Amino acid sequence: MKQVNDFIITRMTRYNDMYSRLTLAPADGSMLPAILPGQFVQVAANTPGVFLRRPISINDVNYDQNTIDLLIRKAGKGTSTLVALKEGDKLNILLPLGNGFSLDVASGSRLLLIGGGVGVAPLLYLGRKLKEAGHKPEFLLGARSATDLLELDDFAAIGTVHVSTEDGSMGEHGLVTRHSALEGNIDTIYCCGPAPMMKAVASIARERAINCEVSLENMMACGLGACLCCVENTVKGNVCVCTEGPVFNINLLNWQ
């Protein structure tokens, strides 16, 4: 069930100048709706000149504390405002939006969750849900540099973490698509990150017949299927990423 609600920032974790993690609770004390890993929110940035809400993945959910977490990278005016907020500030949020990742995987499957940059955000809650279901998720997290690798302790509390950086400052040197964690049998890949990275991962998955889901970050305005600005051409025709995605099995995408 979708909700529009004011949320209060109960914890603000500022990782560096570019990234913050916001922990938020409904300001009126109401209970969070059921949230699937891979779903996202539309946040009102509340700043002059930013009229549209901004789509942000749900990074984590804590039903005991009744909180959600958002991991935000400064990109433009809206996200610059969001990363600079402080505890006690309020944000108006529409949630939960879109469809999540598939969780129905056979027991004993090797599951690799591949994230690039701030695309790691939805993989934390996904990994948590997979672990709760009895699986052993492995994370392969890539970034330009060590300072762009976030929440490593949180990921490590859930499963094995493999890391690569383009400048070699942490983990294996190079792109995630060259990481040794991709060797050996893999049953399912879940992926979120920049489009070229996801396309390269999809191509590896297709070549090796690995089941693969990717979370697209097309530009969005309404987040509700009304404005059509997020359309992706798929084997089923043009579909709105905000309502039919953002998670798609690669077999549905016209990516070659």
The residues of the shown chain that bind ligand FES, judged by CB under 6 A, are: 220-223, 225-230, 240, 242
User: Is 246 near ligand FAD (CB under 6 A)?
Assistant: yes
**Which residues from 44-63 bind ligand FAD, rule CB under 6 A?**
50, 54-57
Interface segment toward ligand FAD; rule CB under 6 A; list 28-36, 77-85, 175-183, 231-239? 77-85
CB of 36 to ligand FES, least distance (A): 18
For the CB of residue 116, give the shortest distance to ligand FAD in the complex, in Å. Answer: 12
* Cβ 241 vs Cβ 231: under 8 Å: yes
With respect to ligand FES, which residue has the nearer C-beta, 204 or 229?
229
Per CB under 6 A, 76 contacts ligand FAD: yes
226 binds, among ligand FAD, ligand FES, none (CB under 5 to 8 A by kind): ligand FES
Q: Which residue has the tokens 């191509």?
A: 203
| β-pair partners for 193 | none
Tell me whether residue 158 or residue 230 sits nearer to ligand FES (CB atom): 230
Q: Can you give the binding site for ligand FAD, defined by CB under 6 A? A: 40, 50, 54-57, 71-73, 75-79, 118, 121, 217-220, 246
